[in-house]
Structure 1
Amino acid sequence: MMTPKAVALVLSLLAITGAQANINADQVADVVWNYFTQLGSNAQETVDQLQQSEITKQLNALLRDNLQAVHTYADELKEQLIPFATNVHARLAADSEKLKEQIRQEVQQLRARIVPHADEVHQQINKNIQELQARLAPYAEELHAQVNRNAAELRKQLEPLAQELQAKVQENIGSLRASLSPYADELQQQVNQKVEDIKGQLTPYADDLKAKVDQTMADLQSSLSPYTQDVQAQLDRQLEVLSFQMKKSAEELRARLLEGTEELRLKLSPLAQELREKLQEDTAGLRESLTPFVEGLSGKIDQQIEEFRQTVGPYGENFNKLLVQKVEEMRQKLEPYAGEVEDHMSFLEKDVRDRFTSFFNTVKESGN
């Protein structure tokens, strides 16, 4: 069982090795947040359930992969981060209900201040929503177009290989195996290279979208400030968590784009492996075995590329709808007769991530 101290030590080891391995503050914060939220009330049965959970396995795997690099720092890290991690856990448990009540009161104050100007505020937020839609639309269209271009380029790159393979099968059986062997490696190399190219072309959209989020938040603050002068802090707090939610969605979009392109690699790579395996078969049946495979290769490639295009292409439109929905939810929350506020967990998550990121950066700076 992973005790709070054990979890803290793992996290501390991960934090100090962030500069030496492919681990960053956001990745560690994901593990921390997921662990503590699933741990919940820290009831014994919940702890027992987590003993074999994916989070525990992930922490152990990250520690194992970095054990050699962090071994020297273990004693120092125990002193630095065990209190930090255990305090985070205690804070989550203690602050959740308190924060929920605080947010409820803040929103009530905002509503009371806004009521005399409800129509103007409603119009201002709707205007911001329209401007957000206008800002995001070109990105969704460009992302869709880029996915289509990537699919077309990948088809263009792989199709000649499939056609040349089909022609080679008709050659003399004695030279068949030797003449086809390089094509398996070439197919794999082309798939790997193009997938990396696609990643490089698609993932920058997330950074551009974050900039649009910042612009939208600044516009919202500017347009609503005249109506919330004496409750500006409450408005700023709402906008901060709205920005956090939107940027988190942008990171999720980046992750989905990477996942989609990597899935394309995983679906295309077996075609190269299947060709290698067929080339190992007995010479007598080699042509008979290869002919249907090579004839169907183009179709298989097209199918996987089309699935990629159909799946990844709409991500931009879906992301835009999600961001607009977040602003709409804020508008509804500020309506005079809106229901109770239930998004305090977003405030809590933002606070935990900010604290962990700050601590992570401090540890890295002290190690320089």
Structure 2
Amino acid sequence: MSLKGAAFFFGLLAIIAGAQAEVSADQVADVVWNYFTQLSTNAKETVDQLQQSEISKQLNSLFQDNFEAVSTYAGELQKQVVPFATKLHSQLAEDSEKVKEQIQRELDQLRARITPHAEEVRRQIASTIQNLQTQLRPYAEELRTQVNQNAAEMRQRLEPLAQEMQAKLRENAGSLQASLSPYADQLQQQIEQQVAAVKGTLDPYANKLKAEADRTLEELRAGLSPFAQDVQDQLNHQLEGLSFQMKKGAEELRMKLSKGAEDLEAKLSPLAQELREKLQQDLQESLAPYVDSLSGKIDGRIEEFRQTVGPYGENFNQLLVQKVDEMRKTLEPYADGAGDHLSFLEKNVRDNLASFFNTLKQKVDQMEEKETPASPSLDSDSS
């Protein structure tokens, strides 16, 4: 391997690791999967026209949006990932039927084996659902309590600033701009600090809920295994699909919590900017009504955040319970269909892209070992 080739892979590693970009296997998978699900509802001629050009365009846009600066390595990474992801997308329609048929065969085998124990299996899954609800409930309640606490703390930090400004206005001593201008900066600073604190306290909850769900899933695996002798692989595949849906739900919860905090900041920050604009006018008749209403505006935006984000834990719990119950239905004797085979297909897409990115990293590691002058043999190779 030449030094030039090694330099390319070293640069590639830096990009994948996030030093120069934020593109990840999951982000590429999001583009591929979302595009596939969108096209699956369109007419076939539309799919034929757009399948290759549009998916490449969307992937190119992903890279352009996420790279801070255009670089040779970014372009090289793009050249490798886009064709792989495009090819992967083109296989999805065919793979969808194959996966559906595979899941159907596995379920037929699994159902045949557990049908004599159908009542025990039903009780086992019902017990799992009840345990899941019991074990997850405290975390959801803790999340709601934390959101309420965050909202109360934000009110305690932000609303006194508005009250102080009202007092300054009543004093009306000297220039309004000179006496009140520091409050606009303080308000913005407090908004940023409080939103950062909210993110820090809410982020761990997705992991907590997912860990508890994983533990329950392992209990379910142990409980069902005695009824699935000789078809353990089929049972494990179903449980892997359920685990994937739980992981996806936890990641969606994490994104919702983060977005909730970001939306709150986006709604509060304009209040500080509006205050600056009012202060520039330095007119008490326009500033006084705004300051009088500021506390109410702050409280309204914080309350909206509390009402929106507070139920996210309960919603996540309901989703997990729903997924376990859907699995129960697919295992019932004489159940129709192969269940949600698309979730298995999506898992395959994400696994393939994760493997592809890992392969790129492994190539970098191999090139690094070959280029390191640790032995005389390397000198002979490079000559």
The aligned counterpart of 2:327 is 330
Which residues in structure 2 correspond to 1:312-327 (within 5 Å)? 312-327=309-324
Q: For residue 318 of structure 1, what is the amino acid of its counterpart?
A: N
1:1-368 pair list within 5 angstroms: 16-20=15-19, 21-40=21-40, 43-46=44-47, 56=57, 59-60=60-61, 62-63=63-64, 65-66=66-67, 68=69, 70-72=71-73, 74-75=75-76, 78=79, 80-81=80-81, 84-172=84-172, 174-281=174-281, 283=282, 286-368=283-365
* Aligned-partner Cα distance in 1 for 2:106–2:14: 35
Check the 8 A contact 2:148/2:310 in 1, yes or no: yes
1:206 alignment partner AA: A
Secondary structure in 1 matching 2:111: helix
Shift of 1:295: 0.9
Helix, strand or coil at the partner of 1:296? helix
Q: How many pairs does the alignment contain?
A: 352
Q: Deviations over 1:201-259 (max 9, x none)?
A: 10111111221222122111100000001111110000000000011001111111111
Q: Evaluate the alpha carbon distance shift between residue 54 and residue 157 of structure 1 in structure 2; reply closer, same or farther with a 3 A threshold.
A: farther
Aligned residue for 2:377? Answer: none
Distance 2:174 2:262 in 1: 37
Code of the residue aligned with 1:261 in structure 2: it is: A
SS of 2:140's equivalent in the other structure is: helix
Does the aligned pair in 2 maintain the 1:159–1:298 contact within 8 Å? yes
Structure 1 residues not aligned, in runs of 5+: 1-12
Unaligned runs of 5+ in 2: 1-11, 366-383
**C-alpha spacing 1:91/1:47, structure 2 compared with 1 (3 Å):** closer
**Cα displacement (A) at 1:141:** 0.6
1:219 aligned counterpart, secondary structure: helix
For residues 302-328 of structure 1, what are the alpha-carbon distances to aligned partners after superposition, in whole Å with 9 as ceiling and x for unaligned?
A: 111111111111111111111011101
CA–CA separation in structure 2 for the residues paired with 1:77 and 1:253? 30
TM-score by length of 2: 0.84
Which amino acid counterpart does residue 84 of structure 1 have in structure 2? F
Q: Return the TM-score normalized by structure 1.
A: 0.88
CA shift, 1:27, in A, is: 1.9
Report if aligned partners of 2:203, 2:258 keep a CA contact under 8 Å in 1. yes
Q: CA deviation at 1:75?
A: 4.9
Distance 2:119 2:223 in 1: 13
Q: Which runs of 4+ in 1 moved over 6 A?
A: 49-55
Q: Residues 16 and 364 of structure 1 are in contact (CA less than 8 Å); yes or no, is this contact kept in structure 2? A: no
Superposition deviation, residue 90 in structure 1: 3.5
CA root-mean-square deviation? 2.6
% identity of equivalent residues: 60
CA distance in 2, matches of 1:257, 1:305: 14
1:156 Cα offset (Å): 0.3
TM-superposed CA distance for 1:82, in Å, is 5.7
* Code of the aligned partner of 1:123: R
- Tell me: CA distance 1:312–1:65, structure 2 relative to 1, closer, same or farther (3 Å): closer
Structure-2 change in CA distance of 1:29 and 1:340 (3 Å): same
Deviation of 1:136 after TM superposition, in Å, equals: 0.4
SS at match of 1:229: coil
Report the CA distance shift for 1:74/1:274 in structure 2 as closer, same or farther (over 3 A).
closer
Contact 1:19/1:364 (8 A) holds in 2: no
Distance in 2 separating the partners of 1:126 and 1:259: 34
CA 194–129 in structure 1, closer or farther in 2 if over 3 Å, else same = same
Match of 1:5 in 2: none
